[in-house]
Structure 1
Amino acid sequence: MGKNYFEDLFEKAFVYIHYDENVESCIFRASCWLKEANELYSSSQWMSSYILYLRVFKLVYIIPQRFRISKNASYYNDLLQIQKNTIQLTERLTTLQKRIAVMHAFTPIELSHVLQLANHHDPSTIFLNIYAHNSSKEYSFSSGTVFLDASFIQNNSLDAIRTVIKTPHQAHIKTAICYSCDNMLDDANIASKIYLSLLAMGITPRFLDLNSPAKVGKNTISISPVGLTNLGNSCYMNSILQCCFACSPFVSLFIDGQALRSLNQNNPLGTGGKLTTAFTSLSHQVRALQGQGVCSPKDFLANVCSIYSEFDTASQHDAQEFLNFFLDSLHEDLNSSAGKAPLPELTTEQQAAKERLPMSHLANIEWNIYKRRNSSPIADLFFGQLASQIKCLTCQRTSTTFAPFSSLALPIKDTTTSCTLETCISAFSMQEVLQGNNAWHCPKCDVPRDAKKTMSVSRLPSVLIFQLKRFRMIGTTHRKIETSLEFKKRISSGMIVPPSFQSSIYYEPVDYELFAFVNHYGDLENGHYTATVFHNYDWYYCDDAIVQPVTDFKRIYQNFSTAYILFYQKVDAAN
């Protein structure tokens, strides 16, 4: 672990006080964060609770610097109490640092994956049980488990530890899964000795946290990639399906039967369950192949065309267009809140009052209104929220609207040099000046006025999808932008959500990791789509019926540089 790791976490725990907040709202926000952090700590979510505790510390520290505090104010006793509660957290933060240090050095592993390895008796994997009490000494995953007394590790050299770990088959061992029922890996000295001993033996250490219920049973269903038959011009569909199959929490909905149990066949905006049933069937077919052979999505495509006839195989179609249709249709099929009456429209006075609320508060109100009529597991996974605000440059009146999104369409600069994903995201959020024929009709001035329009991401989904706007309309034809995109495996929420929305009590800084992307080759009318997906720690290149493991990481960089659609998934804070 680098010595600046915890400094980076300190920076990650970003705190922002909105210009129209007061002492009372800040105290309330700190109290909510503290309550949530304690709940996360109780459920063994160490990283999430640590970052939230840091945010409490920061907010409580800057309140007296931002505001003039009066001892006679009604909030004074509440401020003293939250300050006392914060000071008492010092010891807990130290404990959390030790836990996080271990979890950062050892690559974490899910219990479901450990059980799978144990059931298949993987000869390249050993299990290390670091115990302190005889009661847990026999807790093993396989006959090949090595038991290490914590006191022995504390009192002996690395050579002595390696001697105990050695087995007759050491040459074949690649991975050691380390765990402790007695939490002995929380001891930095013990953890570091185990870590260094294994590395010296050429063995990769993995950390299994038996105390974290959030890790148990999480995303347990996955599908090994197999080829999909091209049914004429169906590569646009095949590439999207491969990316969806690589999304474990999504495909689990269909494999475990939750989707079929949640069908709302009475929703006129859905497909009557037709698309959900067809994809469930296809998911089971692909999973049954266990990574071997080719599957034909003929029946699935027939159902798609019966719902939306435009998706035939007579001509090429846009993969993003199919993705939008696919997610929206599944959402409506599974929308348990469809049909609820909309709330009455706001009066002019109510609309003006709403505009005076902090943006982060307003975003939460609007999201709850949206969820009132849109409740589905698809929305829970893929849907975020966009905020659009127009501000009159004459009277400063604002008009703010919110809308859900399932993917973000990012502009990409047409240049001969490469660009970064950060650059594309910044361009997406760039202010737009409305003037001349495009001036905004200000409701307060009641005449067209010059204005500024800002688009922001106010809420992020669990699965974040980016579409790069590589096609530009010139006259009556599309021109493709071939700008190379620099590889970005992990991104932070802070580079997407602006500070005004990071102040929300519902915002938690998280990272997203790339798990799939779609490439487009050629032009829009005569192009070809492929997918590159991540499964079980390996990348696979999917070109219709052909699926190949990608062993050369340079090829990943090369494929990513021409990517069209990117799929990122929120990662556990400890990873």
Structure 2
Amino acid sequence: MKFGVLRREEYCRKGFIYYKLAKMAVKKHELVHDNRNQLDLKALEQYIQLMNDQSNYMPPPQELVKNCQDIVKWLARASGNEEQMWSLLQTVEEYLLRIVNTVHTSIRHEIVTAILDKFYTFISDPQSDACPATSVVLIVLDCSDTEGNLSAARWLVQQGDNGPAGAGLRASLSCLYCWLYEWHGTPALGDWVLAFIKALEENERFDILIEVSVDNLGRLFLALNDPVSLRQSVAEVIFHVLASLRESTEAFDRIAPHVGRVLANLANDSGQWSRQLLQNVVDILSATVEGHVDALKGEAQDMFKDKYDDVVLCLERHMASHGCRYLQRPPWRARSVCLTSLNTNTSTRKVGLLNLGNTCYMNSVMQALLVTRQFSTHVALKMTAVPYWARMAILFGKMMHSVSTKVNPDEFFAVVKPPFFTRNNQHDSSEFLGYLFELLQSYEHCSDLNFDYTRPAVLSSHSRLRIVAQSTQQASQSTSTDVNDNNNAEPVSNRRSVSPRPSSSAAGSSSSGYKRSLSENAQVEGLPPKKRLRMYESAFLRRDSFIDSMFGGVLLTRVECTECHSSSLSRDVFRDLQLAFPDKPEGWQHNVQSLLEYYCSKESLTGENQYQCRDCGEHRDAERSVLIETTPKYLILILKNFKFDPKLKVQTKLMHSMYHNHTITLPTVRSQAVHASYTLYAAVIHAGTTLDSGHYYTLAKDKDQWNMYNDDVVTSSDESQLNGLERSSTPYILFYRRTDIEEGTAPSMAELPPKVQETVMSHNKHYVESVRKMRLARP
């Protein structure tokens, strides 16, 4: 008996040795090509085969989990077609099936969860270029268990839904679609994609489903051209998507050029499978055409028929059955922001705001928000019963339709001025903008006509805004918080900003981030002899937030270890980007586009800033880069024009030579389908030599006409004036509109809600009466 126990222990030790040797063999055979890890597939196959040969040996649970995650990682870095990888994939499937069918239930759950988690890490990274062969790990899920697949997909969607704006879910669905029409080596892939789509439907992520599906629909539809190699599960996905997008004109545009060829190919094949595919295509597309024709009237209907005449003729050659099961489900419909149609017959009068004692920092911001027409129109028309928003709606209504050339904003500023701002002092306009957005978002889903504004405002917990006042007793140094990876492993940047002011109005502190602000623990010699205010927050884009739908974007930060080439991703939300100036020779002319590119450029993390690599298990040199993954409709850029002067004890202005581009392009991830081009429409200007003094005013364009809003004085201007300002007058906050966003016009007086109309009319009546009294009082 004792001999048998010894033999078994010896065998396990040998198995463990084989396992370690196999890992060493793979490590030894790793090759690097084109800046990404490409594995020697033969070495990888030998390694897994060695593990399969030790059929009675199983590594310890934690080692086993790590081993399975490594397989996912190695497959993601591999390259090759189905034929080249066939032997390897069979070996991997054998190994994974042996594990999930052998280990204890609790360990099996941990292994499957770890595999899916690592799998999602790769498919949710739009820059990873993960090999489609990675999908073979889905073998750990029983493809015949539809509910089990759906449960696993729900779990991943729930994980991804914690990210900002569903960016990870968009990247994942896009990746899965690509694999679907590029790769045929994973039979269960179609079932998994369909489960993922249904999980997104359950979570009502129709915006993601429509956007990503439309982008990939053309290539998916062309897969019907080859019915012989088309799997049933893949066809299910194609027809599910086609039927779900039957109300989308854009989706129909994507497939219209291919309809004739696909129908002809399917009709020429007499096989039962091709006939079944043909009938489904005809049924779905016929219903799509009928739906669009019925929704249109008159000339629009005739234009549709003329445009798609060829498609209609192709469909008429076949008979629709009207019994297609795919048409029994409801179509996808996006939840879009509903703005009332705007009447172009609006007042052209430009109205200024009275300065109530150094309130130019607020006046300038409100003028820029007014010409952000989708925003100001929504506020004026839809938010009249919402605390704080209601006061803004009234102010915007007066600015749109006052018969006077100036409006007193006291009722609005009295309730929205940050409590940490001192009365009658000059303050930072970007800090006011950031606080205003937080305040509005905290109350945008409240409804209280009798709200008590004497109570302090309560910022909702999701915003997690912290306001830190640093006094002279506290600080001989200034600290800027940086956003690390979720495991707190990433260090702060070693590229310092010339401005010690942190992020103000961003929805994540990464908006100023990394090489965009001071490094953590960076020393600043001497603080000004007054309290310095810093605002930080860490929040995710909210699907139900109008503020985020207008100004929110998503940053994708990647840190790649230079030793093992593993990478980690973090996604952070911003409502502004704070652009620092790189060191350049005296007289160098900067421009907005170059500052954006500097903001997103790669930086090395070395020395004290080394990266804690999870795969290596120790600090390593790394490269960090930032790209825009989700572009905002309205982009706010803050130029960090200030630096602390230890002699004067004030924030002095840099006054660099600067060209302010009227058109810019955001550096985005490759899969970003939305336009990344922006045009300038407003700029808050700071005139003066220090941050704590001087004057703010606004240059803004409304209906193709530029104006200068200098408190209560409004004059015509020219877009060239922005680049012809005096040296001490520097643009501080730039407002850009994405080129696919309609500018719109202000709503007419008749379109305003009754409450706003009454207030504006009362304001106008009071002004007219005041003018009449003044005239009567004249001698």
The interval holding the TM-score normalised by the smaller chain is: 0.5 to 0.7
- Provide the residue aligned with 2:377 in structure 1: 252
Contact in 2 for aligned 1:304/1:311 (Cα 8 Å): no
Q: Is the alpha carbon distance of 1:80 and 1:312 closer, same or farther for their aligned partners in structure 2, counting shifts above 3 Å?
A: closer
- What's the offset of the Cα at 1:324? 0.6
Partners of 1:60 and 1:372 lie apart in 2 by 33
- What's the offset of the Cα at 1:78? 5.6
Work out whether 1:321 is the aligned partner of 2:431.
yes
**Amino acid aligned to 1:236:** Y
Partners of 1:554 and 1:341 lie apart in 2 by 38
- What's the offset of the Cα at 1:420? 2.5
1:231 to 356, 362, 367: 356
Work out whether 1:89 is the aligned partner of 2:256.
yes
2:421 to 310, 315, 330: 310
- Provide the residue aligned with 2:333 in structure 1: none
- What's the offset of the Cα at 1:308? 1.4
Residue 302 of structure 1 aligns to a residue in which SS?
helix
Q: How big is the alpha-carbon RMSD for the aligned residues of Structure 1 and Structure 2?
A: 4.9
- Could you tell me which runs of 5 or more consecutive residues in structure 2 were left unpaired when the two chains were aligned: 1-125, 134-175, 183-189, 194-209, 243-251, 261-296, 308-335, 447-458, 465-485, 489-537, 744-779
1:273-284 mapped onto 2 (5 Å cutoff): 273=387, 275-284=388-397
Work out whether 1:242 is the aligned partner of 2:367.
yes
Q: Is the alpha carbon distance of 1:374 and 1:332 closer, same or farther for their aligned partners in structure 2, counting shifts above 3 Å?
A: farther
Q: Is the alpha carbon distance of 1:180 and 1:77 closer, same or farther for their aligned partners in structure 2, counting shifts above 3 Å?
A: closer
Contact in 1 for aligned 2:663/2:678 (Cα 8 Å): yes
After superposition, give the CA deviation of every residue in 1:257-312 in whole Å (9 maximum; x if it has no partner).
x2244x4xxxxxxxxx2x3233223222222315x41112222222234x514152
Work out whether 1:299 is the aligned partner of 2:411.
yes
- What's the offset of the Cα at 1:410? 1.4
After superposition, give the CA deviation of every residue in 1:455-479 in whole Å (9 maximum; x if it has no partner).
2222111111111111133545433
- Provide the residue aligned with 2:399 in structure 1: 286
- What's the offset of the Cα at 1:387? 2.2
Contact in 1 for aligned 2:339/2:378 (Cα 8 Å): no
2:703 to 517, 531, 536: 536
Q: Is the alpha carbon distance of 1:483 and 1:455 closer, same or farther for their aligned partners in structure 2, counting shifts above 3 Å?
A: same
1:202-241 mapped onto 2 (5 Å cutoff): 217-218=340-341, 225-241=350-366
Work out whether 1:26 is the aligned partner of 2:178.
yes
**Amino acid aligned to 2:549:** D
Q: Is the alpha carbon distance of 1:568 and 1:52 closer, same or farther for their aligned partners in structure 2, counting shifts above 3 Å?
A: farther
Contact in 1 for aligned 2:442/2:463 (Cα 8 Å): no
**Amino acid aligned to 1:479:** T
Q: Is the alpha carbon distance of 1:558 and 1:57 closer, same or farther for their aligned partners in structure 2, counting shifts above 3 Å?
A: farther
Partners of 1:80 and 1:328 lie apart in 2 by 41
- Provide the residue aligned with 1:565 in structure 2: 733
- Provide the residue aligned with 1:198 in structure 2: none
Contact in 1 for aligned 2:675/2:739 (Cα 8 Å): no
- Provide the residue aligned with 2:572 in structure 1: 403
Residue 399 of structure 1 aligns to a residue in which SS?
strand
Contact in 2 for aligned 1:382/1:462 (Cα 8 Å): yes
- What's the offset of the Cα at 1:70? 13
Q: Which has the higher strand share?
A: 1
- Provide the residue aligned with 1:555 in structure 2: 721
- Could you tell me which runs of 5 or more consecutive residues in structure 1 were left unpaired when the two chains were aligned: 1-15, 33-48, 63-68, 94-134, 137-178, 188-212, 264-272, 343-349, 353-368
**Amino acid aligned to 2:640:** K
Contact in 2 for aligned 1:420/1:486 (Cα 8 Å): yes
1:491-506 mapped onto 2 (5 Å cutoff): 491-492=664-665, 495-499=666-670, 501-502=671-672
Q: Is the alpha carbon distance of 1:325 and 1:339 closer, same or farther for their aligned partners in structure 2, counting shifts above 3 Å?
A: closer
2:441 to 331, 340, 363: 331
- Provide the residue aligned with 1:121 in structure 2: none
Partners of 2:415 and 2:254 lie apart in 1 by 61
- Provide the residue aligned with 2:661 in structure 1: 488
Partners of 2:460 and 2:181 lie apart in 1 by 33
> Which one is further off, 296-305 or 531-540?
296-305
Partners of 1:328 and 1:567 lie apart in 2 by 18
Contact in 1 for aligned 2:556/2:628 (Cα 8 Å): yes
Contact in 2 for aligned 1:484/1:562 (Cα 8 Å): no
Partners of 1:332 and 1:29 lie apart in 2 by 44
- What's the offset of the Cα at 1:239? 0.7
Contact in 2 for aligned 1:225/1:242 (Cα 8 Å): no
**Amino acid aligned to 2:427:** H
TM-score, normalising length from structure 2? Answer: 0.42
- What's the offset of the Cα at 1:28? 5.0
- What's the offset of the Cα at 1:393? 2.3
2:675 to 509, 522, 531: 509
Contact in 2 for aligned 1:27/1:78 (Cα 8 Å): no
Partners of 1:377 and 1:489 lie apart in 2 by 26
After superposition, give the CA deviation of every residue in 1:56-80 in whole Å (9 maximum; x if it has no partner).
6689999xxxxxx998685997699
Q: Is the alpha carbon distance of 1:473 and 1:71 closer, same or farther for their aligned partners in structure 2, counting shifts above 3 Å?
A: farther
Partners of 1:304 and 1:397 lie apart in 2 by 46
Partners of 2:630 and 2:255 lie apart in 1 by 32
Work out whether 1:465 is the aligned partner of 2:617.
no
- What's the offset of the Cα at 1:538? 0.7
Partners of 1:320 and 1:525 lie apart in 2 by 13
After superposition, give the CA deviation of every residue in 1:166-211 in whole Å (9 maximum; x if it has no partner).
xxxxxxxxxxxxx999659x99xxxxxxxxxxxxxxxxxxxxxxxx
- What's the offset of the Cα at 1:549? 1.2
Q: Is the alpha carbon distance of 1:482 and 1:55 closer, same or farther for their aligned partners in structure 2, counting shifts above 3 Å?
A: farther
1:416 to 587, 590, 594: 587
Q: Is the alpha carbon distance of 1:407 and 1:341 closer, same or farther for their aligned partners in structure 2, counting shifts above 3 Å?
A: closer
**Amino acid aligned to 2:423:** D
- What's the offset of the Cα at 1:423? 0.6
Identical-residue share of aligned pairs (%): 22
- What's the offset of the Cα at 1:566? 1.0
- What's the offset of the Cα at 1:548? 0.4
Partners of 2:622 and 2:374 lie apart in 1 by 42
Contact in 1 for aligned 2:217/2:255 (Cα 8 Å): no
Contact in 1 for aligned 2:650/2:692 (Cα 8 Å): no
After superposition, give the CA deviation of every residue in 1:299-330 in whole Å (9 maximum; x if it has no partner).
2222234x5141522x2111111111111111
After superposition, give the CA deviation of every residue in 1:135-156 in whole Å (9 maximum; x if it has no partner).
98xxxxxxxxxxxxxxxxxxxx
Q: Which has the larger radius of gyration?
A: 2
Partners of 1:573 and 1:55 lie apart in 2 by 23
TM-score, normalising length from structure 1? Answer: 0.55
Contact in 1 for aligned 2:559/2:622 (Cα 8 Å): yes
After superposition, give the CA deviation of every residue in 1:354-392 in whole Å (9 maximum; x if it has no partner).
xxxxxxxxxxxxxxx976866321121111112223232
After superposition, give the CA deviation of every residue in 1:378-417 in whole Å (9 maximum; x if it has no partner).
1211111122232322233433222211111112346523
Partners of 1:86 and 1:232 lie apart in 2 by 57
Partners of 1:317 and 1:87 lie apart in 2 by 51
Partners of 1:410 and 1:473 lie apart in 2 by 17
Partners of 1:395 and 1:260 lie apart in 2 by 56
Q: Is the alpha carbon distance of 1:395 and 1:250 closer, same or farther for their aligned partners in structure 2, counting shifts above 3 Å?
A: same
Q: Is the alpha carbon distance of 1:81 and 1:236 closer, same or farther for their aligned partners in structure 2, counting shifts above 3 Å?
A: closer
Q: Is the alpha carbon distance of 1:528 and 1:246 closer, same or farther for their aligned partners in structure 2, counting shifts above 3 Å?
A: same
- What's the offset of the Cα at 1:559? 4.8
1:383 to 545, 552, 555: 552
Residue 241 of structure 1 aligns to a residue in which SS?
helix
**Amino acid aligned to 2:411:** D
1:351-366 mapped onto 2 (5 Å cutoff): none
Partners of 2:213 and 2:725 lie apart in 1 by 37
